[in-house]
Structure 1
Amino acid sequence: MSASVALMVAAEGGIIGDGRTGANLALGAGLVGLVLGMLALSRANGRISTGNARTGGMSAIAVGMACIVLAVLHLATSSGGPGTGNGLVGAVVAVPLGLGGVLLGRRALTRSRGAGQPAVR
């Protein structure tokens, strides 16, 4: 198979599909955000003594927001419906995963705040 034929097959979505790639990227970012949020929350609760809970919480928020942006962008630009191979269902599932990462990261930041610092409202 020549390089030009391989590029044409990839462009038509024959290998993995352009839509599925974006949705899979958003799903992966959502899972990473959830794991980071759970680890940060464990650090804030004192279950894990290594690492910084505030850094983990901020990174969980950042990765979760990136996941939400990627998923919403994919939902806005995809054509067709669920079951057409565009990755629409994966993008729909990625939105709550990213939101979960954001919420876990925020909770870890709230719990890791020192006793001497006032609550910002």
Structure 2
Amino acid sequence: MTATVLIGGFACADPAAADPSVQPVAASVYTVSVGRVGAALSALAGLLGAVGGGLALARPDRQGHLGTWARRNGAVTALTAGLVALAVGGTVAATADGGLGTGNGLGGAYFAMLLGLIAVTLGWLARSRSRQTL
């Protein structure tokens, strides 16, 4: 029974999938696609979150605007921006046609998810440290 299903599955396979003219062509370096834009914006959100979480975790001692902002909002910004980067990067990675190098933003989506994970981790550490000192 199993052998019949396997042989029938191979016999009914679409031969057009093996045709090179049907395969997606890699996009040019200068082509701007929706996937690339989404991956780039989510990577920027992840970078913003990682910087905010790093500043909140470092607790700058100076009394400037950046130090005050980091003490008040750094952890929440890191958590929020990190979750946005993870969600948008995951969506771009899940909907990308083709693999890496095809111009669909898959590499940028993976990078955005990595930055989002770093931002969430730093934000969580800064938030838990601030709760311990209160």
TM beyond 0.5: yes
Identity of aligned residues (%): 41
Please give the alpha-carbon distance, in whole angstroms, between the structure 1 residues aligned to 2:42 and 2:79.
14
Structure 2 residue identity aligned to 1:111: R
Q: From 57, 71, 87, give the equivalent of 1:69.
A: 87
Contiguous gaps of at least 5 residues in structure 1: 1-12, 117-121
Contact 1:54 1:108 in 2 (8 A): no
Kindly state the Cα deviation for residue 53 of structure 1 after the two structures are TM-superposed: 2.7
Kindly state the Cα deviation for residue 111 of structure 1 after the two structures are TM-superposed: 1.3
What is the TM-score of this pair, normalised by structure 2?
A: 0.68
Please give the alpha-carbon distance, in whole angstroms, between the structure 1 residues aligned to 2:131 and 2:120.
17
Contact 1:34 1:100 in 2 (8 A): yes
User: 1:31 aligns to what?
Assistant: 47
Please give the alpha-carbon distance, in whole angstroms, between the structure 1 residues aligned to 2:92 and 2:83.
14
C-alpha distance after superposition, 1:9-38 (max 9, x if no partner):
xxxx97522221011111111111110111
Aligned residue runs from structure 1 range 80-119, under 5 A: 80-115=98-133
Please give the alpha-carbon distance, in whole angstroms, between the structure 2 residues aligned to 1:101 and 1:48.
23
Q: Would the alpha carbon gap of residues 78 and 21 (structure 1) be closer, same or farther in structure 2, given more than 3 Å must change?
A: same
Contact 2:39 2:105 in 1 (8 A): yes
**Counterpart secondary structure, 1:84:** coil
| Number of aligned residues | 103
Contact 1:37 1:60 in 2 (8 A): yes
User: 2:33 aligns to what?
Assistant: 17
Over 6 Å off, 4+ runs = none
**Counterpart secondary structure, 2:131:** coil
Q: Which structure has the larger Rg?
A: 2
Kindly state the Cα deviation for residue 57 of structure 1 after the two structures are TM-superposed: 0.4
